[in-house]
Structure 1
Amino acid sequence: MLKVENLDVWFGDLPERVHAVRQASFSVAAGESFGLVGESGSGKSTILRAITGLAGGWSGRIEVAGEAVSGRHRSRAFHKTVQMVFQDPYASLHPRHSVDRVLSETLHLQGMDQIDARITRLLDSVGLGRGFRFRYPHQLSGGQRQRVAIARALAAEPRLLLLDEPTSALDVSVQAEILNLLSDLRKDRGLTFVMVSHDLAVVAHMCDRLAVMRGGEVVEQMAAPVLRSGQAHSAYARDLLAASSSYRRESA
């Protein structure tokens, strides 16, 4: 479903150019959930933005469902295949647009018909009833806003969802609800996930495989059982696991 080869991403022009990602390579099979982990600034979210055309300049190769993408322009066909859910559900929703407008505009842009029926199904699919249809973002909780953002992403009926820290801006009490919703949607719709997270426990729970990033580079790829067992190969990945384990113990 997704292949990334020798990806470089940079911002700005020489001589002040900043390289955010260097020679990153990984692939994600159809129906798989793949995680990108690492400390802040390691390039995780930048990779997602390069895939969607939201990053700065980039080189290398990105293939989605066997089709190569180039530059920053993405076609309508691309956006029917790939959608992204952002970290902050309030910032990603227009504060003066109702849920109805958010979803109806997305459906119209995707050339969908039967808009009313589709909006009802989308709200039901993310655990929001039709009573939420004409509410505005400020009338919703953080978890409800993220459910709307997920419904908007699903409106195009994509096969690949890019998830950029989808629960980190939410209260701990609702994080599990959103993660369970995403797991159910993946199963029911046969979706492929690429999930960025700094929370290794979330990645271990949600993903089949993952890549560990440091300083814009992929330093190791591993299966989720390896992550759960703490048996990483690279020193950096072992340190990351140890730090995460220590944090969880102290929090408990």
Structure 2
Amino acid sequence: MLNVRDLDVWFGFPPDRVDAVKQASFDVAQGESFGLVGESGSGKSTILRAIAGLIDTWSGQITVAGQQVIGRRRDRGFYKTVQMVFQDPYASLHPRHSVDSVLSEALKLQGMQDIDRRIVQLLDDVGLGRGFRFRYPHQLSGGQRQRVAIARALAAEPRLLLLDEPTSALDVSVQAEILNLLADLRAEHDLTYVMVSHDLAVVAHMCDRLAVMQHGRIVEIMSGDALRRGEGKQDYTRHLIKASAGYSRA
């Protein structure tokens, strides 16, 4: 579903250029959930943004479902395949747009028909009843807003979801609900995930495999089982596991 080869991402120009991602390479199979972990500033979210077309200063090769993407330009076909869910549900929804407006716009942009039925179905898919349809973001909790953001991403009927810290802005009591929702949606819709998180417990729960990043480079690719056992091959990976607050080798 996704192939990334020798990806470099940078910001600015010499002498002030910052190389945020350096020679990153990984593959994600259809139906797999793949994690990107590492300390803040390691380049995790930057990789997702380069894939999504939100950054145009990159080089290397990105191939999605067999189609190579070039530069920042993405066509409608790309966004029918790939959608992104952002970290902050408070910032990702327009405060003056109702849930109905948000989902209607997403469906129309994808050329979908039967908008009314699809909105109801999307709300059902993410565990929100039709009673939420005409509410505004300020009338929703953080978890409900993130459910709307997930519904918006699903409007295009994508095959690949890019998840950028999808639960880190939520209360701990709500995080598990959203993670369980994402797990259910993956199974029901045969979705492929690439998930960025600083929380190793989340990645251990959600991901089949993961890449560990340090200073913009992938230092190790390992299985979720190896993470749960705390069996990192690199010193940095073992340090990350040990330092991860709340992480348990259950």
- TM-score, normalised by the number of residues in structure 1: 0.97
Q: Deviations over 1:75-113 (max 9, x none)?
A: 100000000000001100001000000000010000000
Quick one: distance in 2 between partners of 1:228 and 1:151? 30
Q: Which amino acid is the alignment partner of residue 113 of structure 1?
A: Q
CA distance in 1, matches of 2:247, 2:164: 26
Unaligned runs of 5+ residues in structure 2 are: none
CA RMSD of aligned residues (A): 1.0
SS in 2 for 1:92: coil
Partner of 2:105: 105
Q: Distance in 1 between matches of 2:83 and 2:56?
A: 19
Change (3 A) 1:249 1:183: closer
TM-score w.r.t. the length of structure 2 is 0.98
Unpaired segments ≥5 residues, structure 1: none
Distance in 1 between the 2:73 and 2:133 partners? 31
Provide the residue aligned with 2:165 in structure 1. Answer: 165
Q: Which amino acid aligns with 2:137?
A: P
Any residues of structure 2 matched to 1:154-193 within 5 Å, and which?
154-193=154-193
Q: Give the alignment of 1:106-185 within 5 angstroms.
A: 106-185=106-185
Q: Which amino acid aligns with 1:25?
A: S
Structure-2 change in CA distance of 1:249 and 1:18 (3 Å): closer
Q: CA shift at 1:55, angstroms?
A: 1.7
Cross-structure match for 1:10: 10
Given residue 39 of structure 1, which amino acid in structure 2 is its aligned partner?
A: E
**How far apart, in 1, do the equivalents of 2:238 and 2:32 lie?**
24
Distance 2:148 2:67 in 1: 29
Q: What is the aligned partner in structure 2 of residue 41 from structure 1?
A: 41
Cα contact 1:10–1:56 (8 A) shared by 2: no
How far the C-alpha of 1:56 sits from its partner, in A, is: 4.0
SS in 1 for 2:150: helix
Equivalent residue number for residue 210 of structure 1: 210
Deviation at 1:249, TM superposition (A): 7.3
Q: Percent identity?
A: 75
Partners of 2:8 and 2:24 within 8 A in 1: yes
Q: Matched residues in 2 for 1:168 and 1:240: separation? A: 18
SS in 2 for 1:95: coil
Equivalent pair of 1:34/1:194 in contact (CA under 8 Å): yes
1:14-25 to 2 correspondences below 5 Å: 14-25=14-25
Runs of 4+ in 1 over 6 A off after TM superposition: none
Task: Kindly provide the amino acid, as one letter, of the partner of residue 227 in structure 1.
Answer: L
> Secondary structure of 2:194's match?
strand
Question: Equivalents in 2 of 1:132, 1:248: separation in Å?
Answer: 34
CA contact (8 A) 2:200 2:247 kept: no
Give the Cα–Cα distance (whole angstroms) in 1 for the partners of residues 44 and 91 of structure 2: 20
The letter of the residue matching 1:5 is R
Could you list the per-position Cα deviations for residues 173-215 of structure 1 after superposition, in whole angstroms to 9, with x for gaps in the alignment?
A: 0000000000000000000000000000000000000000000
Structure 1 SS opposite 2:95: coil
Q: Deviations over 1:156-178 (max 9, x none)?
A: 00000000000000000000000
2:246 — aligned with what? 248
* Separation in 2, partners of 1:192, 1:96: 32
The secondary structure found in structure 2 opposite 1:248 is: coil
| Deviation digits for residues 48-96 of structure 1 (CA, Å, limit 9, x no counterpart) | 0000111240000000001000110111000000000000011000010
1: distance between equivalents of 2:183 and 2:247? 26
SS at 1:213 equivalent: strand
**Partner residue of 1:233?**
233
